[in-house]
Amino acid sequence: MIEAIARAEQHGVPMVWSITGARSPDALTAFAAAAVRTTTIQFGTAIVPTYPRHPVVMAQQTLVVHELAPGRFRLGIGPSHRPTIEGAYGIPMDKPLAHLREYLTVLRALLWEGRVEFQGQYFHVNTELVGKAPVPIYTSALRENAFRLAGELADGAISWMCPAHYVLTKALPALEAGATRAGRSERPRLVAHVPVVLTDDPTQMHQRARNVVGSYARMPFYAAMFADAGFPLPADGTPTDELLDHLVVWGAPQRVTERLVSLLDQGIDELLLMLIYGPDREGDEAQFYDIVRTVHQHVGER
């Protein structure tokens, strides 16, 4: 993971994001190690699940990454999903958005002010850190209520596996509504997760993407979001070709680049790109780096 981050920096990639889940390495630990191997590349978590990690612990770990890579870290947090939190970890998951609201309040005070005194339903915290780490805090969002919450309290919202039309017509207005309700002068940033497949063969795209998207489609929160987006899943939970066509950006490199630039021009602030590899892993990665550089250059010229 650390070698991949260093390699991405060498190829001009401006930022890397990492999940932190039941089977993946801890992103905060890996970013701390990568921070001393790199100089410019930025890091973001998308996301660190909140239930298994107390906000004080999250703040302590964030402080380390912030001091090792000042100005290069964005912290993305979220409640995750019941199959993970309750099924794998055995932690009760009651009212995830209410839990996230309190968690974010405690975490923000610790990171930005250095101390917190909070009494809520889920957290009772009175402590301080040895320093401050005013890093941007982003929250995960799939459905409109989660985007509204991000609009109220977070510095940004991170979508995941959301079709572009859904992001533009439902997520973005909900984010703006939350910001308006909270009296904020500007809405938080919207980071849209986009799966990418480098092939101009639709059959190949469907085969590669279905394996990846299918692992998410089996989770109830994602199934509900797909239905909200107009792509209800069949009884067996297998992603349809229609869903994949609207969710995945695919084609030859030039076509992929044009489609990504179009998403940015339509109002999405930032793209979190996930390459779904084909059989030529090194070739796909090299082309992907070129695409990222070109899209990033377009952002700089806007």
Mean pLDDT taken over the chain: 96
| Predicted pLDDT of residue 302 | 61
Does the structure show a pLDDT above 80 at 9?
yes
- So what's the pLDDT on residue 299? 79
Nearest partner of 64 among 135, 140, 155, judged by Cα: 135
List CB contacts of 103: < 8 A, sequence separation 6 or more: 50, 55, 77, 122, 123
pLDDT of 74: 98
Q: Tell me: the pLDDT tens digits for 231-267? A: 999 999 999 999 999 999 999 999 999 999 999 999 9
- Topology, domain 1-140: TIM Barrel (3.20.20)
In the prediction, which pLDDT does 163 show? 98
Determine the 3-state secondary structure of 224 from DSSP. Answer: helix
What per-residue confidence (pLDDT) applies to 189?
97
CA-closest candidate to residue 42, choices 3, 76, 13: 13
82 versus 108: the higher-pLDDT residue is 108
Does residue 252 contact residue 259 with C-beta atoms inside 8 Å? no
pTM of structure: 0.96
| Predicted local confidence at residue 97, as pLDDT | 97
195-207 pLDDT, tens digit per residue, is: 999 999 999 999 9
What is the predicted pLDDT for the residue at 258?
96
3-state secondary structure 55-112: HHHHHHHHHHHHHHCCCCEEEEEECCCHHHHHHHCCCCCCCHHHHHHHHHHHHHHHHH
**Mean pLDDT throughout 264-278?**
96
- Separation between Cα atoms, residue 66 and residue 261, nearest integer Å: 30
Q: Is the pLDDT assigned to residue 114 strictly greater than 80?
A: yes
